[in-house]
Structure 1
């Protein structure tokens, strides 16, 4: 089985997870930034890495996933929220449903926390208490925790999920 591991990254988080996924996958495989992909026909399985933006895959990853039809697809993502949060689970479900709508079979899913771009945090802080992402003590704590991820435990968990694929 020939596998393509691909990713879109803003801060480098998703690339790091992609590298862990790549290590775990057996058989013939390649790893590429989504920006470099010209063709997907020669692959039996495509594993797509994304970062969460506004409750969905980032635009670049989303556009790439829209091109996938009738493929075996796995997804892995990073986000600033906690991976066991309702927000994270809704993101994973939304992405899987979009892939399935194009006739794809989703073979694996993984999401973990990742450091948030400092520019985004600064923008949210400048909004003060007026925005939907106001810097509350709870949010500040989550942002601080996100800055520690992805970490070795996240990489190990991703390897566990994708290492089980045939």
Structure 2
């Protein structure tokens, strides 16, 4: 939706040997033939987006490297909770061989919603923190995020 996960996918595609790549693109049944799958997702309400969850539910006996982005990037604990939610939907015949998450920018409409919420006298106590997080996320995934991913992949 915002291109964040695509940046991570492009980095993985750049790093891995092209001759070993059976498929590169959005979730598609053609990817199911591969033994090892690098599957990216964007975070929706603390889990992978529905298209990715649907794709993951069809996989059996695969090696899977999960990677994703989330607009709220405050802590590794949050990322681990998301990854845990995603992994809980994956069939036990599969093996998770790696995982990576980082912060990603959000659509401008999110910030506009936060600002509108702040105008309400009964706004959430953490509204300023949400706006600050939004602004911080605008540069992500950044070069440090991509370098960390690269170090995990190689």
TM-score by length of 2: 0.86
* Aligned partners of 1:125 and 1:135 also within 8 Å: no
Pick one of 102, 120, 135 that aligns with 1:112: 102
Gaps of 5+ in 1: 1-9
Gaps of 5+ in 2: none
Query: Structure 1 residues 141, 124: CA separation in 2 closer, same or farther (over 3 Å shift)?
Result: closer
Match of 1:138 in 2: 129
Note if 1:28 corresponds to 2:54: no
The CA RMSD measured in Å over matched residues stands at 2.1
Work out the number of aligned pairs and report it.
150
CA displacement at 1:114 relative to structure 2: 0.3
Query: Structure 1 residues 83, 76: CA separation in 2 closer, same or farther (over 3 Å shift)?
Result: farther
Q: Distance in 1 between matches of 2:3 and 2:15?
A: 19
Q: Distance in 2 between matches of 1:110 and 1:18?
A: 11
Query: In terms of Rg, which structure is larger?
Result: 2
Q: Distance in 1 between matches of 2:129 and 2:98?
A: 31
CA displacement at 1:117 relative to structure 2: 1.4
TM-score by length of 1: 0.80
CA displacement at 1:88 relative to structure 2: 1.8
Pick one of 60, 72, 76 that aligns with 2:63: 72
CA displacement at 1:25 relative to structure 2: 2.1
Which string of whole-angstrom CA distances, capped at 9 and with x for unpartnered residues, describes residues 84-128 of structure 1? Answer: 3432220011112322x3421000000000001112332343344
* Aligned partners of 1:71 and 1:103 also within 8 Å: yes
Query: Structure 1 residues 123, 77: CA separation in 2 closer, same or farther (over 3 Å shift)?
Result: same
